[in-house]
Amino acid sequence: MTQPVDSQKETIADALARRVEARPGGTPRWAEAFRELAAVDRAVYDAVARTPTPELDRPVRRLSDAANNSRLWLGIAAAIALAGGGRGRRAALEGVVAIGVTSATVNLGVKPLASRRRPDPTVAAACDRLPQRQHGERAEPRARRHPRSEHFA
């Protein structure tokens, strides 16, 4: 029942499906559900990568860079703590604790289950050098975009 998956495109769901199948008494129903989830993940990724979004590329990249290492969420927590009084400080503290617990869970628990290679950086660099089309211009076929965020490690 195991379907071969290109290692470049293996998702966490694929890895979970393999682990479920490898366990004695593993439920094929769960493995199939994980495989379907992986197929949806790849389809969404491919659709986003192929969709031309020249007006969104730069601001979304800046937003993604700001989110690296939870900087965006920590900044939001700081703003809430400063502007929200005692209740805001408590909420900000709870948010920061949630960030820490989630980060530890994902980085120490989930990521080791599904190690996968990062996208080829030369392809991502080539995509960055593509000329931006102007409004109304016809776009040339575009190379596939790859995530640059640390969250895809």
**Least confident piece of the model among 1-15, 75-89, 112-126:** 1-15
Alpha-carbon Rg of the chain, whole angstroms? 20
Which positions ≥6 away from 99 have C-beta within 8 Å? 70, 73, 74, 77
In the prediction, which pLDDT does 70 show? 94
User: In angstroms, how far is CA 39 from the centroid of its own chain?
Assistant: 15
Amino acid at 128: D
Amino acid at 52: P
Return the top range by mean pLDDT from 19-23, 62-66, 127-131: 62-66
User: 146, 49 in Cβ contact below 8 A?
Assistant: yes
pTM, two decimal places: 0.50
pLDDT band at 3; cut points 50, 70, 90: very low
In the prediction, which pLDDT does 110 show? 84
